[in-house]
Amino acid sequence: MHRFALLLATTLAAVVAPSAATAADPAEIALTIEENRFQPEEVRVKAGAPFVLVVTNRDKTAEEFESRELRIEKVIPPGKTVRLRVPALKAGTYPFVGEYHEKTAQGRIIAE
C-alpha cells in the first residue's frame, strides 16, 4: 500500500548575520526519517561546495545514517536531529542507507 503523505523537505538557507563579511555558511539540507524511510530519498547538491545534512529521526527507534561513499556513520536516536557536515563532493552519486532498516531506508545524494 502506498503512503502518499509527501512531506516537502525544505532546504534551509543558512542565516548569515548582516555584519558577516566572510563567505556564506554552507547550505543546510533537511532529511527526515519516518516509517524507516528517508524523505526525500534523493537530494541534489552543488558539486564542489560543502553542505550540512540536518537529519531528523521521527521514528520511535534509533536509526544509523550510513554512507560508505561519504564516510559518514552516525546514530540518530528516536526523536532527535543530528547535523552532519559533508565536505565538498565531486560530481557523482553517493548512496546512503539507514543501517538499521536497510531494506527500506535508502537514499542518494547527487552532486552536480
Binding site for Cu ion (CB under 5 A): 64, 66, 73, 99
Shortest reach from residue 97's CB to Cu ion, in Å:
9
How many angstroms separate the Cα of 13 from the Cα of each of 10, 47, 50, 52? Answer: 9, 17, 13, 11
Q: Tell me whether residue 49 or residue 100 sits nearer to Cu ion (CB atom).
A: 100
Q: Closest distance between Cu ion and the C-beta of residue 32, in Å?
A: 20
- Residue 40: asked if its preceding bond is cis (omega within 30°), the reply is yes
The nearest distance, CB 73 to Cu ion, in angstroms, is: 5
User: CB 53 → Cu ion: shortest distance, Å?
Assistant: 16
* Residue 112 CA neighbour count, 13 Å, CB half: 7
- Record the cell numbers describing residue 7, joined without a space: 512531506
Q: Are 84 and 55 in contact (CB under 8 A)?
A: yes
Nearer to Cu ion by Cβ, of 10 and 61: the residue is 61
Residue closer to Cu ion, measured from CB, 69 or 73: 73
Q: Which is nearer to Cu ion, 2 or 71 (CB)?
A: 71
Residue number of the CB closest to Cu ion reads 99
Torsion of CA 70, 73, 77, 81, to 10 degrees: -30
